[in-house]
Structure 1
Amino acid sequence: MRGAKRFGKCATMAAILFVGGCGPTATGPESLAESSQAVTQSTSFQDGVSPSTAYAGTRDAMIEEEDSNANHGTDSSLSASGDTPAGSGNENEILFQWDVSAIPTNATVRSASIVLTVSDKADQAYGFFELTRAWTERQVTWEQADSSHDWASKGADGAGDRNTALLGSIRAASTGTYTVPLNAQGLAVVQKWVSAPASNHGVVLSDKDHDNRLEVRSREYSTRASRPKLTVTWDLDGPGPVTGTTTYAGTCDGSGGVALDGTHFLNFNDESQTARVYVRGQASAPVQTRELNSALGLSSSDEADFEDAARVGNRIFVTTSQARNKNGVLQASRYKFFALDVSGTAPQASLQVAGVSSNLLKDMLDASNWNQPDATVISLLASRSRLSESTVPELAPKEQGTNIEGLAALPSGGLAIGFRNPQAGSSALVVTLTNPDAVIAGSRARFGQAIRLDLGGQGLRGMAWSAAHQAVLLLSGPHDESSGPFALWKWSGVPGVAPVKVRDLSAPSDSAPETVIPIPGTQDVQVLFDMGAHLVGGGECKAASASSQSFTDLIVRVE
């Protein structure tokens, strides 16, 4: 008997925003204006069928607790159950793996689904989870991944055997064909398989609590169309510039952002609630803009202080600073965590608000919301937040108060939240969020653990997962208004593994690097600068007219 696996549900989406027809169209050098658009493709992987009838890249097997040394790698039907034989409490699990090497390693995965043919129904939801240990189809058993290696825990249930993030689930009330769309965590796993084929160990279908046995056809089944199938929708963007810098008009702040494709990026800033779409490398105004106030329940006089964003599949999570204002005043508008769902292609892409939470930091201060509560970190954050007090000047974000400026997807699922302030001693502080989809749907936030990172005594100023590098890219800098030092780092995303400095960064006067955006399909990385305090005409940029405001970026190659 093993630990329960819990499934989260996303709420109905609340509002729709269209990024199109609401801003000036930018113009620029012809060589940039003619940048190629991504072409979306769909590839299915099914033995004897697709991508061609010669494909034989599926692997599947059942492992069973009752006969723990039995191998079922050649069975034509496979079953999952939490109670087989009935009343025993013994489990059956199904392992699947598809060779996806037909997709280029620099492709960006946009959606993915698993198709199974059910031969014995089970009106209970069985979940898919990523396997992280190699296994051999004709040797794998409940006890062993192959004839030479045991599972860390029987049933592929130990550390290093599988990840616990749910990728999708199947509930079969009748026999027939079922398509299981993978969620954001599932897309991140498939993206990893594409970008780093050696990481592909497939998935396991299981649930220990179900007594209704689910049976599906395997890759050995005689009817080819009934065999397990993985379908991946992806695009291949053109490469961005190798090195260089560009000035973008319309705002002073590159506070947060994500890539929409190989040509366009979405920018958020910490002075207003406006999202802007720019053409990377084109020195001009945004090609589209959109105000987010009404969708987030804010007024035009509010300042949400957007700080960073993380894209997982077609969903973009965004966090504000979760901080007081510069005078130490508590303002509800600055404690938002929300998500936007992306559809269509840039620059005419649409963004749909998937949900908003105002309780991220509040939930973080409650130890019962943590899988591995760190009393020292929780106490530190509570003392630097003091959410019950309206005004505490010394807890301004660039003094001693909390200040979140980093957000990134993690390869194991969930998000990493990075703090500019406070630090845990001399280490930068990261907290993992395990259920971001559920949070924006209204559920209480669940946190995995606190992670301390050695960034040379600096805090975090930006974060992003890079599929091309199979690493979280980090920006470091002072917690206060000091003019540096700043640096770019790579980190595996694994607790206990130290980040590696890539390079020091120099910023324009009175500015700081605050956003890192991996350019899809390349090893190039875009760094955006927050230039709100940069002098324009003798005054700060953020105080200048909109027509005089601008920010710059830096494109660097990271090997």
Structure 2
Amino acid sequence: MRALAALLLIAAGAAAAQTRYEGLCDASAAVALDARHFVVADDEHNKLSIYRRGEPRAVGELRLDKFLKTDKEADLEGSAQVGDRIYWIASHARNSAGKLREDRHRFFATQVRGATVEPVGKPYTALLADLLAAPALAQLKLADAARRAAEADGGFNIEGLAAAPDGSLLIGLRNPVPRGLAIVIPLLNPAELVDGKGPARFGSAIRLDLGGRGVRSIERVGNGYLIAAGPPADDGTFALLRWSGKPGDAPVALKVELGTLRPEALFAWPDGQLTLLSDDGGVLVGNKACKDADKAMRSFRALDFKP
């Protein structure tokens, strides 16, 4: 209880600790590389950008088009670190018109090399097919969801990825949210997939009450998880919740004043500090949405939680 109370106090005072980073708007997933650097994905472009903590401009980037073998954006949405390997997952969703987008069917890994990363193994493209074929997940009726647009009622959209203590991963769905409960699916063999040894194996789905919201980001912190939750579609409220990681335990909402932030990525630093990134692609810059503005005008906001 003391640890949770301390976290609540941290969150309550975190609004004054915002930083703005330049060069991209749609921050969607991130991992700390060391005590000073973090790598962030942009769901509008197939690249990873590296920033130095607290400094606005990127200090490096990794272009992924050739590695991912995609013609359009892969819609990168989640990341999780296991040892010196970072796993990344795309949305595996259809576009806003409900059109199939195979470029978004990507699960891959990068290796941490000091304050940078490099691709390792090869992208896995059959994760959605494996999800739909898994007997343990049949009750979720994901095949129906996967035929709909990402933000449609009951559509399919992956946005969260977190490491579990045993090296497996948790996949968090933004959509669907059946009966108002978010879905988290254990991925048991991530290392095998990037080594070209499919199919994917899954544990039983976990249902979480996030107040009718889906998972936007999930991060292992200490002995549990923090979840950034948001609406399955574009309109709705966001929240930050603490979850023990046990399927039968209910997440606990943290009293955080997020203001206009749209939480999309959450990660922990080696010193225990937490950073929450906002997807600011729709924020107006002059008379244009940030993602449509000149590159020099693009930026995203980060909220730091100081222990």
Instruction: Settle same-fold status: TM greater than 0.5.
Output: yes
Q: Distance between the aligned counterparts of 2:194 and 2:259, measured in 1? A: 34
Aligned-pair CA distance for 1:405: 0.5
| Matching of residue 464 in structure 1 with residue 216 in structure 2 | no
Q: Which residue in 1 is equivalent to 2:279?
A: 530
Q: Structure 1 counterpart of 2:216, which letter?
A: R
Q: Distance between the aligned counterparts of 2:117 and 2:80, measured in 1? A: 17
Which structure carries more relative contact order (alpha carbon 8 Å, separation 6+)?
2
- 1:505-540 deviations in Å (ceiling 9; x for gaps): 4243xx511000112122x21000001110001111
Aligned-pair CA distance for 1:280: 1.8
Aligned-pair CA distance for 1:545: 1.1
Equivalent runs, 1:95-244 vs 2, <5 Å: 244=17
Q: Distance between the aligned counterparts of 1:303 and 1:311, measured in 2? A: 22
Say which SS state the counterpart of residue 504 (structure 1) adopts: coil
Q: Which residue in 2 is equivalent to 1:398?
A: 151
CA contact (8 A) 2:107 2:125 kept: yes
Of the three residues 270, 274, 285, the one matched with 1:520 is 270
Q: Distance between the aligned counterparts of 2:119 and 2:43, measured in 1? A: 21
Q: Distance between the aligned counterparts of 1:367 and 1:456, measured in 2? A: 27
Q: Which residue in 1 is equivalent to 2:129?
A: 362
Q: Which residue in 1 is equivalent to 2:193?
A: 439
Equivalent runs, 1:26-425 vs 2, <5 Å: 244-282=17-55, 284-299=56-71, 302-343=72-113, 345-346=114-115, 349-368=116-135, 373-377=136-140, 379=141, 381-386=142-147, 395-400=148-153, 401-425=155-179
RMSD: 1.7
Aligned-pair CA distance for 1:419: 0.5
| Matching of residue 548 in structure 1 with residue 300 in structure 2 | no
Q: Which residue in 2 is equivalent to 1:487?
A: 239
CA contact (8 A) 2:110 2:117 kept: no
Q: Structure 2 counterpart of 1:536, which letter?
A: V
Question: Compared with structure 1, are the counterparts of its residues 358 and 505 closer, same or farther at alpha carbon in structure 2 (3 Å cutoff)?
Answer: farther
Q: Which residue in 2 is equivalent to 1:499?
A: 251
Q: Distance between the aligned counterparts of 1:544 and 1:513, measured in 2? A: 21
CA contact (8 A) 1:304 1:336 kept: yes
Q: Distance between the aligned counterparts of 1:362 and 1:504, measured in 2? A: 38
Q: Which residue in 2 is equivalent to 1:449?
A: 204
Q: Distance between the aligned counterparts of 2:259 and 2:298, measured in 1? A: 17
Q: Distance between the aligned counterparts of 1:554 and 1:338, measured in 2? A: 27
Aligned-pair CA distance for 1:317: 0.5
Q: Distance between the aligned counterparts of 1:278 and 1:406, measured in 2? A: 21
CA contact (8 A) 2:134 2:202 kept: no
Paired residues, number: 292
Aligned-pair CA distance for 1:260: 0.5
Say which SS state the counterpart of residue 445 (structure 1) adopts: coil
Q: Please list every run of 5 or more consecutive structure 2 residues that lacks an aligned counterpart in the other structure.
A: 1-13
- 1:424-453 deviations in Å (ceiling 9; x for gaps): 211110011000011122210000110000
Aligned-pair CA distance for 1:374: 4.0
CA contact (8 A) 1:486 1:505 kept: no
Q: Please list every run of 5 or more consecutive structure 1 residues that lacks an aligned counterpart in the other structure.
A: 1-241, 387-394
Among the aligned pairs, what percent are the same residue? 41
Q: Structure 1 counterpart of 2:251, which letter?
A: P
Question: Compared with structure 1, are the counterparts of its residues 557 and 424 closer, same or farther at alpha carbon in structure 2 (3 Å cutoff)?
Answer: farther
Say which SS state the counterpart of residue 217 (structure 2) adopts: strand
Question: Compared with structure 1, are the counterparts of its residues 303 and 505 closer, same or farther at alpha carbon in structure 2 (3 Å cutoff)?
Answer: farther
Of the three residues 402, 407, 430, the one matched with 2:184 is 430
Using the size of structure 2 for normalisation, the TM-score is: 0.91
CA contact (8 A) 1:342 1:352 kept: no
| Matching of residue 477 in structure 1 with residue 234 in structure 2 | no
Say which SS state the counterpart of residue 404 (structure 1) adopts: strand
Q: Which residue in 2 is equivalent to 1:71?
A: none
- 1:465-496 deviations in Å (ceiling 9; x for gaps): 12xx22111001111111x4211112122221
- 1:84-103 deviations in Å (ceiling 9; x for gaps): xxxxxxxxxxxxxxxxxxxx
Q: Distance between the aligned counterparts of 2:271 and 2:250, measured in 1? A: 26
- 1:153-197 deviations in Å (ceiling 9; x for gaps): xxxxxxxxxxxxxxxxxxxxxxxxxxxxxxxxxxxxxxxxxxxxx
Say which SS state the counterpart of residue 295 (structure 1) adopts: helix
Q: Structure 2 counterpart of 1:305, which letter?
A: D
Aligned-pair CA distance for 1:247: 0.6
Q: Structure 1 counterpart of 2:225, which letter?
A: V
Aligned-pair CA distance for 1:361: 1.1
Q: Distance between the aligned counterparts of 2:250 and 2:166, measured in 1? A: 17
